[in-house]
Amino acid sequence: MSGVTPLTFVILAAGEGKRMRSRHPKVLHRLCGRPLLGYPLRLARALGDRIVVVVGREAAEVRAAAGPGVEFAEQAERLGTGHAVQQARAACGDGAIVVLPGDTPLLSEATVTRLIDHHAKTGAAVTLLTALVERPAGYGRVLRQRGHVRGVVEDRDATDDQRRIREINTSVYCFDARRLWPALAKVTASNEQGEFYLTDVVGILARAGARVEAVTTPDPAECLGVNDRKQLAALAALQRQRTLDRLMTEGVTILDPAATYVDDTVQIGPDTLLQPGVVLEGETRVGAECVIGAGCHLDRSRLGDRVTLLPYCVLTE
């Protein structure tokens, strides 16, 4: 890990998520056993010294779900990502600040570590995580000049030429706090949305002669966000496949991965066999050398070693 200290993670979780058509905050919708917010929180707890979650008004559910060791900043009005980060200033302190969206569950610890390490090594004012995608519509485009990042333009504000750029901003950043706050104070809402964009800080710093760096993720799927229930289902499918791949690498036999559903929160010992149609949810723990029969459904259950479940057993806590 890099020598960046102290390291504060700011997680943006104030969005209403209107396209989810739900009474509940978007970041609390569950994906493979965790609320969406649980994924960036897991990264922040693994890598950071301080965690600040930016929430909206009436966010008691989000505050409760975040758990211990978290500070909160309230964004009473939805005035953009720049405004959201500004609300966290008092809680951030000095050092480096990593900004993460609250709805990007596939982002890996390895990628965020690489971003932080590159930021520390180069002494940049800001390092942003980018991705190269075939269909960049809807995403902010990274503007470069002679290979150097000069800014980010949001899709709504981009010219036709800029919309052809395939390198996108992922909304994941590592900032030097000393450079972030003065630059953020210069951001205006003179754009189509009438919002204060955090992306504008990149251009402000570049024009001031500050060092702006970028790290490109090798897997653009890491940066996918959730805006509606279709995207939630699509990302859940990707996360399930990652979970099953990890389990098989660790020595678990899965006869039909396409028909097996295992939450990210489940632990399974080696030489255990999962037959088709198995569903394992919550904090389920399965020991080594077990056989879980076809169609079994376990929720928050614990099995020791060498247990055999006949088909279609249902176990709950």
Does residue 131 contact residue 170 with C-beta atoms inside 8 Å? yes
Q: Which are the catalytic amino acids? A: 19
Does residue 174 contact residue 125 with C-beta atoms inside 8 Å? no
Residue 21 tokens read as 């058509």
Q: What are phi and psi of 38, to 5 degrees?
A: -65, -25
Rounded-to-integer distance, Cα 75 and Cα 62, Å = 13
Does residue 41 contact residue 84 with C-beta atoms inside 8 Å? no
Q: What are phi and psi of 278, to 5 degrees?
A: -75, 140
Rounded-to-integer distance, Cα 6 and Cα 116, Å = 12
Rounded-to-integer distance, Cα 2 and Cα 5, Å = 9
